[in-house]
Amino acid sequence: QVRLVESGGGLVKPGGSLRLSCAASGFTFSDSYMSWIRQAPGKGLEWLSYISTSGNTMYYADSVKGRFTISRDNAKNSLLLQMNSLRAEDTAVYHCVRGGRSHFDYWGQGTLVTVSS
Amino acid sequence: QSALSQPASVSGSPGQSITISCTGTSSDVGGYNYVSWCQQHPGKAPKLMIYDVSKRPSGVSNRFSASKSGNTASLTISGLQAEDEADYYCSSYTNSGSHVFGTGTKVTVL
């Protein structure tokens, strides 16, 4: 079955960096658009970024453009999110999600990122 | 990109039908047939319920249906059951290549 497992979350100071990873299994990763979506505590869902199957095309939400970078390694079935210049408002659970254009059909459980001094 | 507008809460008794609206603009909901709906129970990851405006993924109950008219999409849950109590979010592709989610609706089964 489809499985998406995020890792790399934790506590980081404002201005710091963090790199999230997502291990994918149960489907042909290289054929799937992939996305990162986050949810701040007690808040709604916020789409952040998606990447094409080849990794050549990426889109970002304005809130993270220039600070976050999405990438993928199709040989390792992994999705990455490099987060720089982190702010308190980036505190959230970050979900790795299959999909990127029409819809998001499988979600990981997420990894918690806390930005605090 | 502003969030799509959803009612904060909707409630209904078991067996009843409820409808959740999702209002956007011609740049998102009105411009593409890439509207989807997901369900989220507390502490759980979201689950896709509807995609491409009105299509149901395999395994999703046919009590869930959806449609779109202009810039507003709607999700209807028929024969409301206790297990339907959850948060529901719409989302849409946008003309900038991004996605936008709705503000979310808490469904309560009375």
* DSSP per residue, chain A: --EEEEE--EEE-TT--EEEEEEEESS-GGGS-EEEEEE-TTS-EEEEEEE-SSS--EEE-TTTTTTEEEEEETTTTEEEEEE-S--GGG-EEEEEEEESSS-EEEE---EEEEE--
Of A101 and A85, the one with more pLDDT? A85
Contact between chains at B101 and A44 (C-beta distance less than 8 A):
yes
pLDDT band at A100 (very low <50, low <70, confident <90, very high): confident
- pLDDT of residue B1 exceeding 80, the answer is no
From B57, B62, B92, select the one nearest B76 (Cα to Cα).
B62
Residues A74, B36, A59, A66: is their CA dihedral positive or negative? negative
- Which residues of chain A does B34 touch, with a Cβ-Cβ cutoff of 8 Å? 101-103
Quote the pLDDT of residue A86: 98
Quote the pLDDT of residue B16: 97
Q: For residue A72, list its beta bridge partners.
A: A79
Give percent of chain A above pLDDT 70.
Answer: 100
Mean pLDDT of A53-78: 97
Cα three-residue angle A78-A79-A81, rounded to 5 degrees: 140
Q: Are strands A10-12 and A111-115 parallel, antiparallel or unpaired?
A: parallel
Residues 6+ apart with CB under 8 A from A55: A71, A72, A74
DSSP-derived 3-state class of residue A89: helix
From A113, A112, A104, select the one nearest A2 (Cα to Cα).
A104
Backbone φ and ψ for A29, nearest 5 degrees, come out as: -55, -40
Q: What digits encode the pLDDT tens for the residues A81-96?
A: 999 999 999 999 999 9
- pLDDT of residue A79 exceeding 90, the answer is yes
Q: What is the C-alpha to C-alpha distance for residues A90 and A115, in angstroms, rounded to an integer? A: 7
Q: What digits encode the pLDDT tens for the residues A39-52?
A: 999 999 999 999 99
Quote the pLDDT of residue B105: 98
Mean pLDDT of B36-49: 97
Of the partner residues A60, A103, A109, the one whose CB lies closest to the CB of residue B51? A103
Contact between chains at A107 and B47 (C-beta distance less than 8 A):
yes
CA distance A86 to chain B (A): 21
- pLDDT of residue B42 exceeding 90, the answer is yes
pLDDT band at A101 (very low <50, low <70, confident <90, very high): confident
Q: What digits encode the pLDDT tens for the residues B5-15?
A: 999 999 999 99
Q: Are A22 and A70 in contact (CB under 8 A)?
A: no
Of the partner residues B47, B52, B100, the one whose CB lies closest to the CB of residue A47? B100
* Tokens encoding A40: 């701040």
Quote the pLDDT of residue B64: 98
To the nearest whole number, what is the mean pLDDT of chain A? 97
From A66, A71, A109, A113, select the one nearest A91 (Cα to Cα).
A113
